[in-house]
């Protein structure tokens, strides 16, 4: 190991290579201090790793700092002291960069994952994906288990450190083989609103807008919560987990067949 480090130092010296902020460098943690670690990065001046730069979030913990001694890995150079030439290092920021790369790939591949629920508030659910805090808005929650929730990435913004997930979108993707535009299905009324009905179809909450109820005035039409009704699937939005249905088009289809 000593031979490898001295060789790296020789390469730095030979090519007059200087380390800068934003660089990624290999090093070995050699000493545990009160608020940080000394790291051998092959330069004359050892690097310094503050303990607050160890992990991305507080949900991950390192129980024994002594276990890190003699660990060799990559570090992100946060800054370099121009006077002492000592580099301030970070594991957290490097993990953060790599986590966002994985998240972007998951977004491209449209992956569904099961995540632990850390906190529930009025607005929705807080969870973590690849160590990055994520939020599932209440409007995008379909169903949860006791401690976990199926999710899919809705929007990402690395610059603002924003990660929004959707449970509805994940549930629809899993059950998509059961849904087909134009198909007649049965669903149970779960919510009555001024603008329409919400109906449970295969565990997915579908919307039947007032405009899809028919000529009969919505207020005079009798709908009962828990009632099973036949509807027609007229729209699917897999990105947002939205399903729209119609009872008006069921009637028109039935009338057409009768003629």
Q: Residues 29, 90: one domain?
A: yes
Q: By 3-state DSSP, what share of the chain in percent is helix, strand and coil, each rounded to 5?
A: 25, 40, 35
The answer to whether position 38 is within a domain reads yes
Averaged pLDDT, 53-61? 67
| pLDDT reported for residue 119 | 93
Q: What is the mean pLDDT of the chain?
A: 84
Q: Residues 161, 196: one domain?
A: no
The answer to whether position 74 is within a domain reads yes
- Please give the Cα distance from 104 to 94 (Å, whole number): 16
Model confidence band, residue 175 (pLDDT cutoffs 50, 70, 90):
confident
89, 75 contact by CB (below 8 A): yes
At which of 123, 150, 172 does a domain end? 172
Model confidence at 22: pLDDT above 80: yes
The answer to whether position 104 is within a domain reads no
Q: Residues 80, 121: one domain?
A: no
**Which residues, 6+ apart, have CB-to-CB distance to 54 below 8 Å?**
62, 91, 92
149, 136 contact by CB (below 8 A): yes
| pLDDT reported for residue 117 | 94
> Which is it for the CA torsion 111, 113, 117, 121, positive or negative?
positive
The answer to whether position 102 is within a domain reads no
Lowest average pLDDT, out of 47-61, 128-142, 147-161, 211-225, goes to 211-225
The answer to whether position 49 is within a domain reads yes
DSSP secondary structure, 51-81, as one string: GGGS-SSTTS--S-GGGGTT-EEEEEEEEE-
- Please give the Cα distance from 59 to 104 (Å, whole number): 22
Q: Residues 185, 207: one domain?
A: yes
For the chain, the domain total comes to 3
Model confidence band, residue 1 (pLDDT cutoffs 50, 70, 90):
very low
Pick the residue with more confidence: 161 or 250? 161
| pLDDT reported for residue 18 | 76
CATH number at residue 149: 2.40.50.140
The whole domain housing 142 covers 112-172
Paired strand residues for 200: 188, 205
Averaged pLDDT, 52-64? 67
pLDDT tens figures, 35-52: 899 999 988 889 999 999
Model confidence band, residue 252 (pLDDT cutoffs 50, 70, 90):
low
Q: Residues 6, 89: one domain?
A: yes
Name the nearest CA neighbour of 32 among 45, 53, 51, 46: 51
Question: Residue 83 burial by CB count (10 A; 0-12/13-18/19+): exposed, middle or buried?
Answer: exposed
Paired strand residues for 198: 191, 207
Helix (H) or strand (E) holding 103: helix 92-109
Max avg pLDDT among 45-59, 60-74, 152-166, 197-211 = 152-166
253, 184 contact by CB (below 8 A): yes
Q: Residues 121, 153: one domain?
A: yes
């Amino acid at each position: 190991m000593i031979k490898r480090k001295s060789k790296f130092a020789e390469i730095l010296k030979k090519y007059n290579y200087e380390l800068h902020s934003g660089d990624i460098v290999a090093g070995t943690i050699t000493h545990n201090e009160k608020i940080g670690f000394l790291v051998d990065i092959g330069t004359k001046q050892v690097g310094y790793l503050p303990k607050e730069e160890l992990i991305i979030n507080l949900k991950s913990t390192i129980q024994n700092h002594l276990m890190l001694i003699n660990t060799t890995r990559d570090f992100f150079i946060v800054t370099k002291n121009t006077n002492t030439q000592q580099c301030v290092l970070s594991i957290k920021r490097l993990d953060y960069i790599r986590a966002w790369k994985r998240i972007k790939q998951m977004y491209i591949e449209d992956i569904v994952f099961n995540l632990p629920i850390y906190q529930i508030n009025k607005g929705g659910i807080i969870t973590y994906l690849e160590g990055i805090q994520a939020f599932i808005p209440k409007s995008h929650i379909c169903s949860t288990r006791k401690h976990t929730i199926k999710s899919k990435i809705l929007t990402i913004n690395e610059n603002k450190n924003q990660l929004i997930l959707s449970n509805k979108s994940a549930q629809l993707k899993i059950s998509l083989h059961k849904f087909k535009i134009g198909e007649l299905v049965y669903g149970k009324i779960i919510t009555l609103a001024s603008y329409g009905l919400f109906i449970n179809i295969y565990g997915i909450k579908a919307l039947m807008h007032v405009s899809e109820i028919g000529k009969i005035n919505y207020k005079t039409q009798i709908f009962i919560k828990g009632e099973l009704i036949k509807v027609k699937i007229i729209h699917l939005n897999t990105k947002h987990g939205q399903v729209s249905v119609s009872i008006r088009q069921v009637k028109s289809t039935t009338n057409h067949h009768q003629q």
